[in-house]
Amino acid sequence: MKILIVEDEAPIREVEAAYLKRAGYDVAEAATGPAALELFEQSKFDLIVLDLNLPGLSGLEVCRRIRADSLVPIIMLTARAEDTDELLGLDLGADDYIKKPFKPPILVARAQALLRRHAPARLEFKDIAIEPAAMRVTQNNRAIALTTTQFNILLALAKQPGQVLTRDQLLDQSYDDPAGHAVFDRTIDAHIKAIRKALEPDPAHPVYIQTVIGRGYRFREVGE
Ligand code: CA
């Protein structure tokens, strides 16, 4: 999952980038409207975090131009409450608004919620299908029973096949409120063990969820 951050103030941009990276996202940064539009044309993004108050080309105009040919989810950051009211009236097509100043975890939570809303209805692999909205996993059309946390961990991994996710990233993506849970790295290991038991033909020699020693876990498409 790739997120474009558009913010002219470097310290703010760096904090946003750090938090979103820690949550497991790839991040690209732009300091101006034109730079953002250029990046947007060059690569595909799953979400855009867009500051309203940019020098030169405003966030409003950037939003309008992106919306002209894309439905990519956009979170608009606004400096004042009045700005938000005005923007809602303008109906620019931003999907969410956050008022500055905000706590970075709020941005992460809203980004995750928005990405979840825009998630594909179904992830399909050779013999496994995952339906995020229904929270259902089937293997060769046979239902696989998982707890909510186990489902979220599997989904986080399967959304980015081949990419290693650390235990911290899995923690962030699998609990709605990671800070509110007494969860530790080893908790993730226990969940992975349970998912393997449910999914792997031979849990002692896993093929779907691979351990990457010293780093974390990765989902591999069988037959890949
Ligand atoms: Ca700004």
- Rounded CA gap, 224 and 214, in Å? 23
> pLDDT by residue (tens digit) across 83-119?
777 777 677 788 999 999 999 999 999 999 998 888 7
Query: Is 224 within a domain?
Result: no
Q: What is the pTM of this model?
A: 0.63
Do 73 and 153 share a domain, yes or no? no
> pLDDT by residue (tens digit) across 206-220?
999 999 999 999 998
Confidence (pLDDT) at 222: 67
Q: Give me the sheet containing 128-131, strands edge to edge.
A: 123-124, 128-131, 136-139, 142-144
Do 111 and 8 share a domain, yes or no? yes
Residue 134 has pLDDT above 60, yes or no: yes
> How many Cβ atoms from other residues are within 10 Å of residue 36's Cβ?
28
The domain in which residue 102 lies consists of 2-117
Give 60 Cα–ligand 1 centroid separation in angstroms: 12
Do 90 and 59 share a domain, yes or no? yes
Do 95 and 145 share a domain, yes or no? no
Give 84 Cα–ligand 1 centroid separation in angstroms: 14
Q: Which CATH number covers residue 204?
A: 1.10.10.10
Q: Which residue among 53, 82, 117 closes a domain?
A: 117
Give 12 Cα–ligand 1 centroid separation in angstroms: 9
